Amino acid sequence: MFNRIAALVTRHRRLIVVLAIIAFAVSGGLGGGVAAKLSTGGFDATDSPSFRAQSLLTEKFGTGSPNVILLITARSATVDDPAVAAAASELAGRLQTEQFEGLTMAEVISYWSLPPGNPLASTDHTKGLILARFPDDDATLVDFSATLKDRYLTDAASPITVQIGGDGPLFDEVNLTVEKDLLRAELIAIPITLFLLLFIFRGVVAALLPLMVGGLSVVGTFLVLLVVNSFTPVSVFALNLTTAMGLGLAIDYSLFIVSRYREELMRYEPHTAVRRTVLTAGRTVVFSAGTVAASLLALLVFDLAFLRSFAYAGVAVSLLAGLYAVVVLPAVLAMLGRRVDAWPVGRRRRATADPTTGPWHRLAVFVMHRPIPIVAGVLRQMPKKRTKEMMIAAMAPIDLGAPGPDAKFGRGLAQAPKTCTPPALPSAPSPNPWTPDVVAERRHPLELPPMPEATLQPARSTGPPPVPQALGFGPAVSLATAAIASRRR
């Protein structure tokens, strides 16, 4: 296989480079705006009790949690002032009539639309809430929330000030933050990386080649995420993994290829050097990319779109980095020939043609001839207490902290019986108008319809719940987690 790849990249090097340029342009044109199309959710396990309860609230009762919240603050009076109440009620009415992409606001309630004494005001009565529910929980909600910021701000003459919150505006800000952070990270990482590559290769052309592979891999992964997002939700946070892994793996694989090519170039003509590079360093890159992709596939077992998105991004960027490093980069090297050392920076140390000399060869020989003393020395440097903690963590069942209660992360987890005892209700009616019996009679818009009569009885505990079974890769994850924690301490 590698012989055929080597022959292909040397024989059709110009065609491969042209196809790579076209792929970069298409991926950049179509996938450049992928951040605006990706999901900001994905933190709920679809088969968890909490998610099923939320779905039933929406389907059966037509209600749910508010996802757009307006915080109204009175400038110089209280929320009960007539001018403040009129201004806030006008905002609530405008919010009730909002429409976006064929969807209308489902529910809106506020402190001023409910009876006096309701809990939607602060204790000092200088702030009140307007709660609204838009009938979408994903990208449409975020896009809709982005349109509210400028239209619901008040001027200095208004008796109130408005602050916008809720899931929709929150994730709109998250999207903007992710885009700015990605741009900032690239503006910082790429110059530093280029400087290090110039120091390593001592040449401008050779230093630009790893960045070329990194750019192709990252932009190509953006297009892959856009395609995957058309079939299943992909989290916007997958972009962070894409840029980090894309640059890292591309530079790593390119270092293998370019370094080996420059060594082979000292003994062979350029086409033969490219062929020998693909047969040696190319084989290493292919197996490395396959190993990274296979390890990231383990994230697909989790029933969380957030974690699965990392698998989509990680597998795509690792395979693309390996593909471009083994096919496109050797084609570029075949076109450059000995010009790969053009535009030198500083004095480059000329490597010897004999591979059995040099400091790295001597280090490898030294380690291989003394494996037992070196392993024993490494183990002696590890603190005994930390080593014991990591061994215990490796044998313990895995316990991943769930983003929400009752989230299931694997089919191997045993379901523990859940028991609960309802709190005792007061024996005498309370004058507070927001006690459960009074609220049930009011039935305001965001409240549930009366439930069927049922008798709640305390459940008896039959003993401690069974210990969840560990996942197959639990020891490895536990060991890694313990090692990170010990390092931070």
Same domain, 104 and 131: yes
Quickly state the pLDDT bin for 348 (edges 50, 70, 90). Answer: low
DSSP state, residue 344: B
Neighbouring CB atoms inside 10 A of 97's CB total 9
Helix (H) or strand (E) holding 218: helix 204-229
Token pair, residue 230, equals 């058309």
Taking 90 as the threshold, does the pLDDT of residue 317 lie above it?
Answer: yes
Q: What is the DSSP string of 414-440?
A: --------PPPPPSS--S-TTSHHHHH
Neighbouring CB atoms inside 10 A of 369's CB total 9
Provide Rg for the chain, Cα atoms.
31
The answer to the question of residue 181 being in a domain is yes
Most confident region among 83-92, 383-392, 467-476 by mean pLDDT: 83-92
The answer to the question of residue 465 being in a domain is no
Same domain, 330 and 263: yes
CA atoms within 13 A on the CB side of 328: 26
- The pLDDT of residue 176: 83
Same domain, 194 and 157: no
Same domain, 102 and 186: no
Domain boundary among 113, 131, 165: 165
Same domain, 130 and 183: no
Taking 60 as the threshold, does the pLDDT of residue 184 lie above it?
Answer: yes
Same domain, 134 and 209: no
The answer to the question of residue 472 being in a domain is no
The CATH number linked to 27 is 1.20.1640.10
Please give the angle made by the CA atoms of 400, 405 and 410, to the nearest 5 degrees.
45
The answer to the question of residue 233 being in a domain is yes
The answer to the question of residue 47 being in a domain is no
Number of domains in the chain: 2
Same domain, 315 and 209: yes
Quickly state the pLDDT bin for 285 (edges 50, 70, 90). Answer: very high
Range(s) of the domain holding residue 28? 2-42+175-350
Residues sharing a CB contact under 8 Å with residue 366, sequence separation 6 or more, in sequence order: none
Same domain, 149 and 271: no
Domain boundary among 322, 350, 378: 350
Same domain, 239 and 329: yes
Domain boundary among 329, 350, 371: 350
Same domain, 130 and 187: no
The CATH number linked to 82 is 3.30.70
Residues sharing a CB contact under 8 Å with residue 153, sequence separation 6 or more, in sequence order: 162
pLDDT tens digit string along 227-279? Answer: 998 898 888 888 888 988 988 899 899 989 998 998 888 888 988 999 999 99
The answer to the question of residue 469 being in a domain is no
Averaged confidence pLDDT in the chain: 76
Same domain, 29 and 121: no
pTM of whole model > 0.85?
no
The answer to the question of residue 297 being in a domain is yes
Same domain, 229 and 324: yes
pLDDT tens digit string along 86-102? Answer: 999 999 999 999 888 88
The answer to the question of residue 244 being in a domain is yes
- The pLDDT of residue 384: 64
